[in-house]
Structure 1
Amino acid sequence: MSNAHQLHQALPSDEIDLFELFGAIWKQKKLVMGCTLLAGLLGVGYAYLAPKVYQVSSVLRPAAINELDALNRSEVYKLPPADALAKVAAQLDSYETRLGFFRANPGLFGAFQQPGRSPEQSFEAFNNNDAHLVVPDPKNPDSLNNYIRLEMQYPSGVDGAAILNGFVTYAITQQRDQVGADLKVIVNNRLNELKGKIDAARANYETGKASRIAKLLEADDVKRAQLQDELSALRLQMQAQRTSRLAELDEAISIAKSIGIKYPTTPSAMAAEARTGSGQVMRTEVTNQAIPLYFLGTQALEAERAALARRTNDDFTNNRVAEIGKELRMLEVNREVEVLKSRKSEDIFLQDVEPLWAEQARLRSLNIDMSALKLVTVDRQAQEPSSPIKPKKTLIIALSLVAGLMLGVLMALIWHFVQARRQAGPFSAQDERRLPHR
């Protein structure tokens, strides 16, 4: 039993004694301090020799409502301040805009050019690593969603403030030009639309006018034909009446000759003459019966017949002939058609085009020049930084000292365990040979 106890005391224990470790580290304090000092020197060297990186930023906020009031009141292009800020943000984040600014300002990006790199490759390096857009998180209710921030990191020898401010101005100008171009296109499209409506109204007017003239002329032709037919019928009627009158006169002359009536007389006068003979007598005769025509006597009847026989035109015997002549004369010229054809400013007769003309005049009077339009407010311009953001000297030195300390401690512990293993190795072999066999 005593041999086993002595052997157990002689064998190394598997438990770690913290005091023994601290003692071992303290014994190697020079090693630990040397590693810490070496790492600290390396950190100091890196902190002061590493390339310096600077950062600038610019903050943009929505423009005041009155800055965009004229554009919004045009009723053509609606652009609230928040939308204007979003459009500028899209321009700032646009690859095409950044490439355009890069190509337009080669002098500002000379430091980004490296041997063996094409300008496009240099721009890619700048675009991917050096400039980025920061927008507030819309899901965060505590964040203010009415701003955007553009940040850029750059090495020494680069005018970062000039680049960032120039890029912001370039992007705003590009967006302003885009708004102006969009407004011009919209106005031109609306003007073309209004012109089409006015042309349609003018075409409808021309069609209506031509239709009206055609209807008036057609009505005149119909009326003229009807009057000419009526005139021809009247003349035939009058000719027939003249022929009938001649026949009546011939018959009356024959009767008057047969009874010896040469001068106009009446039946009562003839009866009185037959009874008393001739005499100077004045008679008044009232009767409701028509006296036969032959009582006019042969002299009057033959005179009338001769006159009718010589007549070549019966138009004067009927007033309607003169009225027809008047109407035909009036139909020779249609004054309404003449006025319609002689119109000079026909647009004033168009229907329902006054609102179109008013809108057309309003659109043409719009100021499409957007050079003075303020889309956003530059809340903070980029300023030349007073110190670089990289390398962080204090942090690098502190981390290097901590790393050196940890490395020294690790090396001290490794040295302690190696020495302990060497010391415990031979003793264990001898004790193992001395162990009693059961």
Structure 2
Amino acid sequence: MSVEQKDVIDSPELSSVRDDEIDLFDLWDDIVEEKIWVFIGFFACVLLAALYLFRATEIFETQVVLKPASANSVVELNVPQLEGIYSKDLEESFADARSAMLSKEYRRNFYEAYLDEIKSVEGVYNEALTEAQNFAKFDRLFTSKASGAKDVETYLQVKFELPDPQKAADLLNAYTEYSLAAKLSDIKNTVDSKVAAQVGKLEYDAKQLREQYSGEQTRRSLMLNEAYSIAKAVGQTQSLFSKSDIVGTYEPPLYMSGTKALRAEEKALKDRQRLAKELPYGEDHFIDKLPSLLFKIDQLKSLEIDYSKVSLAVVDERAIAPVGAVKPKKLLVMALAVVAGVFVGLMMALLVSAFHRHKEKIKSKIRSRRLS
């Protein structure tokens, strides 16, 4: 090697560059030399993970799946008597079931009704928290997933988590029955109120028709009596005209019908009361449109809906006690512990090796100063 080349290699600039570079072989030698720290870091992380898994409370998850009911399940809500008042198709029924399962109001009512049973599950209820906070904690145990546009079937999946697998299944099944029954009860109240409102409207219309009929009958009776007096005074016994004599909308004076016809019409009006006694709706049969109103009223009042035959949705999959816990995820925790353990061990080995080199440099400087 020439003198110029040696000077270049030993130059301060190049020496500084070499000092800044990382030699992988030196790193490997450092790791091998301090391998005890690699094992310490690795086993420490694995031990901590194992301790966590041993002490952590296992969480079990169960689920229910709802699907649309059959067409027969909504027949009772679509009877002819309810036409124009209330109706429900399968899509609307399942939407009601979905809203019931996701309803905060129903969930809170269920929580209050089953509070004693919920308190018996360790870790779910905290006496130090308020009722609102405890309910919020309970509410977070529920998760849901609804079918999307790309799914072949329509469904609603509701999941529930608890440390006790059997309690999780029992509570979720109870909540499903509770929420669907509560929604059906709301529908019943809605139908009853709408039917009552329709009956009230029809009865009001019937009352108006009766009052109108009564007024017209009184008016007609007075007109007949007046016309009869005039006809009798002028000696008009028979009618002076026939239907063919009437042109257009012209109506001759009533007295021109003659006393015989006037008396006959008055008698017919009085006979209505006698005939009405033999009819279902009495004299109401003589009132235009009233019999049909009364029939509708009777139909609505006698309407009986069997809600035991009504189903908003079908529980396609009931909740069962899960066999394995979903939390903590043991394999994932141990895998992360292994990765973290290797990383921590390597870092510890490199740091210890760097510390030893630093001590050697300090000792070397001290010896150099003593020699000088």
**Residue in 2 aligned with 1:125?**
137
Cα distance in 1 between the residues matched to 2:10 and 2:133: 77
Answer yes or no: is 1:88 the counterpart of 2:97: yes
Select the residue among 177, 180, 184 that pairs with 1:172.
Answer: 180
Answer yes or no: is 1:382 the counterpart of 2:319: yes
SS in 2 for 1:343: helix
Cα distance in 2 between the residues matched to 1:14 and 1:135: 59
Answer yes or no: is 1:199 the counterpart of 2:188: no
Task: Report the alpha carbon displacement of residue 40 of structure 1 after superposing the two structures with TM.
Answer: 0.5
Task: Report the alpha carbon displacement of residue 423 of structure 1 after superposing the two structures with TM.
Answer: 4.7
**Residue in 1 aligned with 2:296?**
359
Matches within 5 A, 1:23-102: 23-74=29-80, 75=83, 76-102=85-111
Select the residue among 342, 347, 357 that pairs with 1:405.
Answer: 342
Cα distance in 2 between the residues matched to 1:82 and 1:48: 48
**Residue in 1 aligned with 2:230?**
222
TM-score if structure 1 supplies the norm length? 0.67
**Residue in 2 aligned with 1:316?**
none
Task: Report the alpha carbon displacement of residue 409 of structure 1 after superposing the two structures with TM.
Answer: 0.7
Q: Is the 8 A contact 2:60 2:165 kept in 1?
A: no
Q: What is the one-letter code of the residue matched to 2:200?
A: N
Matches within 5 A, 1:175-324: 175-227=183-235
**Residue in 2 aligned with 1:299?**
none
Q: Percent identity?
A: 25
- CA deviations on 1:329-350 (whole Å, 9 max, x unpaired) are x79x945334424533211101
Q: Is the 8 A contact 2:76 2:310 kept in 1?
A: no
Cα distance in 2 between the residues matched to 1:214 and 1:189: 38
Cα distance in 2 between the residues matched to 1:357 and 1:408: 91
Q: What is the one-letter code of the residue matched to 1:46?
A: Y
Select the residue among 117, 125, 128 that pairs with 1:116.
Answer: 128
Cα distance in 2 between the residues matched to 1:53 and 1:224: 103
Task: Report the alpha carbon displacement of residue 205 of structure 1 after superposing the two structures with TM.
Answer: 1.6
**Residue in 1 aligned with 2:254?**
none
Structure 1 regions of 5+ residues with no counterpart? 229-326, 432-438
Larger Rg: 1
Matches within 5 A, 1:338-357: 338-344=267-273, 345=276, 346-357=283-294
**Residue in 1 aligned with 2:20?**
14
Q: Is the 8 A contact 1:180 1:369 kept in 2?
A: no
Task: Report the alpha carbon displacement of residue 35 of structure 1 after superposing the two structures with TM.
Answer: 0.9
Q: Is the 8 A contact 1:179 1:370 kept in 2?
A: no
Task: Report the alpha carbon displacement of residue 145 of structure 1 after superposing the two structures with TM.
Answer: 5.9
CA RMSD of aligned residues (A): 3.0
Q: What is the one-letter code of the residue matched to 1:399?
A: L
Task: Report the alpha carbon displacement of residue 407 of structure 1 after superposing the two structures with TM.
Answer: 0.6
Q: What is the one-letter code of the residue matched to 1:45?
A: L
**Residue in 2 aligned with 1:261?**
none
Query: Are residues 25 and 341 of structure 1, via their aligned partners in 2, closer, same or farther at CA, if it must alter by over 3 Å?
Result: same
Q: Is the 8 A contact 1:101 1:170 kept in 2?
A: yes
- Bigger drift between 398-407 and 167-176 goes to 398-407
Q: Is the 8 A contact 2:60 2:325 kept in 1?
A: yes
- Bigger drift between 16-25 and 374-383 goes to 16-25
- Bigger drift between 106-115 and 170-179 goes to 106-115
Structure 2 regions of 5+ residues with no counterpart? 237-257, 277-282
**Residue in 1 aligned with 2:252?**
none
Task: Report the alpha carbon displacement of residue 422 of structure 1 after superposing the two structures with TM.
Answer: 4.8
Task: Report the alpha carbon displacement of residue 107 of structure 1 after superposing the two structures with TM.
Answer: 2.9
Task: Report the alpha carbon displacement of residue 213 of structure 1 after superposing the two structures with TM.
Answer: 0.5
- Bigger drift between 39-48 and 410-419 goes to 410-419
Cα distance in 2 between the residues matched to 1:343 and 1:4: 136
Answer yes or no: is 1:336 the counterpart of 2:265: yes
**Residue in 1 aligned with 2:305?**
368
Cα distance in 2 between the residues matched to 1:368 and 1:66: 14
**Residue in 1 aligned with 2:253?**
none
Q: Is the 8 A contact 2:45 2:337 kept in 1?
A: yes
Q: What is the one-letter code of the residue matched to 1:96?
A: E
Q: How many pairs were matched up?
A: 327
Q: What is the one-letter code of the residue matched to 2:36?
A: K
Q: What is the one-letter code of the residue matched to 2:68?
A: P
Task: Report the alpha carbon displacement of residue 374 of structure 1 after superposing the two structures with TM.
Answer: 1.3
Q: Is the 8 A contact 1:176 1:371 kept in 2?
A: no
Cα distance in 2 between the residues matched to 1:157 and 1:113: 17
**Residue in 2 aligned with 1:107?**
116
Q: Is the 8 A contact 1:55 1:151 kept in 2?
A: yes
